[in-house]
A = this chain, B = another copy of it.
Amino acid sequence: MVNRVQQLIIAAAIGLTAVAAIVHAASPHSTATFLIAAVALAALAALVGQSIEQVGEHLSPGATGLLQSSLGNLPELFVGIFALNDGLYNVVRAALVGSVLGNTLLVFGIAALTGGLRHGPQRFPSESPRMIGTLLLLSVAALLVPTLAMRLHTPAAPHVNALSDASAIILLAVYALSIPFWLRGGATTSPTNEQGALPLRTAAGLLALGSLGAALVSAWFVGALENATKSLGLSQTFTGLVIVAIASNAVENAGGVRFALRARADYAVSTILNSPLQVALFLTPALVLASRFIGPTDLTLVFPTLQVAALAVAAIVVVVVVYDGEYIWLEGVALIGLYCILAAAFWWG
């Protein structure tokens, strides 16, 4: 049985992808292609997220967790690969940072605000969110090191490519070692059997279809990006940090907001924080290593300093907010305010 929200997502994903295909065929580098592909990508990301949950209904919680943590950021991975291929390194970096900021500050802020307004102060078992928050802080800390080594003109600065690769490999090793943790359901993020489950075959089919669509639309989206942002007067950094991040990742995490609205604060927090953890621990180092084989030159872990500072601020702030196992709507307001100020700071590039 497919419920309302699922129907809506499927219909939107199919419809928007079709429109995007037509517009792309007509004028591949136009602003229209860029905008429609962005919306289609968001719908496809939501579809992929939904389908993973549906497939998960037929798996153990551990396997579901693993599936979510490996495929959950698939649309973002596609965008990253196409952007690497086009040499849009600023966009790739900004999109990775923006994905962490968007989830920890904006999406989580919206969840806390709406959930808190509807249900009052939300208490939740904080063990799992605390663990995810702590791991996020640790990964972000590790992620910062190459940038600091570079920007502080340390003796490591001339060797930053090597340091960056070493850091990426260590982060991926931590990710690999964390797989048993997810398999044991260390951070289950979706309640089993809460929605009418689709048959496994249908769910897997939707997942494959959504992924394929995301891959196609990502290519169109990235292809139109350079031209469109220029004519829209947007900087590459702002585009990556806000638009790409929200389209390819944040919308998918709207699921977290739905949990918050249903007073399932624990699932809300786990869902929303899981994604930036995967971005820090897997997606970012994976793209660094992938850039060895894709695109004109290498992506390093050297980010613009303000982006790195924003990452550190977001990681610290979100740990403090979730650590006590409680959020109120006012924390949501403050998180959203912080996101807006950061986004404003990146407006000029």
A331 is an interface residue with CB less than 8 A from chain B: yes
A344→B171 CA distance, assembly (Å) = 13
The answer on a CB contact under 8 Å between A337 and B170 is yes
The answer on a CB contact under 8 Å between A156 and B348 is yes
Please tell me which one of the listed residues B142, B152, B317 contacts residue A138 in the complex, with CB atoms under 8 A apart. Answer: B317
Please tell me which one of the listed residues B163, B309, B323 contacts residue A345 in the complex, with CB atoms under 8 A apart. Answer: B163
Q: Digit string of A141-184 for contact with B (CB within 8 Å is 1, else 0)?
A: 11011101100101110110001001100110110011001000
Give the interface of A toward B (CB within 8 A). 126-127, 130-131, 133-135, 137-139, 141-142, 144-146, 148-149, 152, 154-156, 158-159, 163, 166-167, 170-171, 173-174, 177-178, 181, 186, 235, 237, 304-306, 309, 313, 316-317, 319-321, 323-324, 326, 328, 330-331, 333-335, 337-338, 340-342, 344-349
18 intermolecular pairs with C-beta atoms under 8 Å apart:
A130-B324, A131-B330, A137-B317, A137-B320, A138-B334, A142-B341, A149-B345, A152-B309, A154-B348, A156-B345, A156-B348, A166-B344, A170-B337, A174-B333, A174-B337, A181-B328, A186-B330, A323-B324
Residues of B within 8 A of A149 (CB): 306, 345
Nearest-neighbour CB distance to chain B for A179, whole angstroms, equals 10
The answer on a CB contact under 8 Å between B135 and A167 is no
The answer on a CB contact under 8 Å between A155 and B235 is yes
What number of copies of this chain does the assembly contain?
3
The answer on a CB contact under 8 Å between A313 and B141 is yes
A155→B344 CA distance, assembly (Å) = 11
Please tell me which one of the listed residues B127, B134, B145, B323 contacts residue A342 in the complex, with CB atoms under 8 A apart. Answer: B145
